[in-house]
């Protein structure tokens, strides 16, 4: 999530507003800062994430019930933990590549006028610190720009869930679980 308060001759946000937002329901949304349009969806995912999480819980329960060996379940937990990190990795890669996206959109927002160097400095600051930060500067001694960015609560919950799954897999792998007795009728 990127929020900003921009007061320049080029544009004015009239207070703090969301500029870029990536979420699981609407995908990537960008505020072009043109009038009262608000956030515009660039691409999104049409599947509600609640259904994906519910299916994940059901499949996880079936894995626990149907497991024959503890090592197989531990491997499943560890792999599931790493795959839980994939959305966060994609978001971080997007933030790192945000420099190119911001420089493309500055021409659109500025109406073809050349943008100040501070915009490039801001984009570089965001890309160099993808987990969060703040950029403040004065533009042409008349305007100010104050941008804050960072991962939202959903990202931290994904990281916590991944860590718990990985730790559970490691604990299960190191635990000594007695094997079930084999079928005597064989």
Query: Which residue range(s) make up the domain with 58?
Result: 2-174
Residue 181 lies in a domain: no
Question: Is 16 in contact with 1 (CB distance < 8 Å)?
Answer: no
Residue 69 lies in a domain: yes
Number of structural domains, the chain? 1
Residue 123 lies in a domain: yes
Residue 82 lies in a domain: yes
Residue 76 lies in a domain: yes
Residue 105 lies in a domain: yes
Residue 183 lies in a domain: no
Q: What is the pTM of this model?
A: 0.69
Which residue, 25, 78, 72, 82, is CA-closest to 52? Answer: 25
Mean pLDDT in each 10-residue stretch from start to end of the chain (186 residues)? Answer: 80 79 74 70 58 72 73 83 84 81 64 68 84 85 84 87 91 75 57
Residue 180 lies in a domain: no
């Amino acid at each position: 999530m990127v929020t900003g308060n921009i007061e320049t001759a080029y544009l004015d946000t009239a207070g703090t507003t969301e500029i870029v937002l990536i979420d699981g329901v609407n995908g990537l949304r960008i505020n072009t800062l043109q009038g009262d349009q608000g956030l515009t969806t660039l691409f999104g995912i049409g599947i509600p994430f609640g259904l994906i999480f519910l299916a994940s819980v059901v499949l996880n329960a079936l894995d626990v019930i149907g497991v024959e060996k503890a090592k197989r379940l531990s491997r499943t937990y560890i792999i599931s933990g790493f795959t839980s990190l994939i959305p966060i990795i994609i978001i971080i890669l997007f933030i790192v590549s945000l420099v190119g996206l911001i420089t493309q959109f500055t021409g659109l927002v500025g109406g073809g006028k050349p943008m100040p160097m501070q915009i490039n400095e801001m984009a570089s600051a965001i890309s160099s610190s993808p987990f969060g930060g703040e950029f403040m500067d004065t533009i042409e001694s008349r305007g100010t720009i104050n941008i804050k960015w960072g991962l939202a609560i959903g990202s931290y919950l994904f990281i916590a869930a991944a860590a718990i799954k990985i730790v559970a897999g490691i604990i299960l792998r190191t635990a000594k679980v007695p094997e079930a007795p084999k079928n005597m009728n064989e």
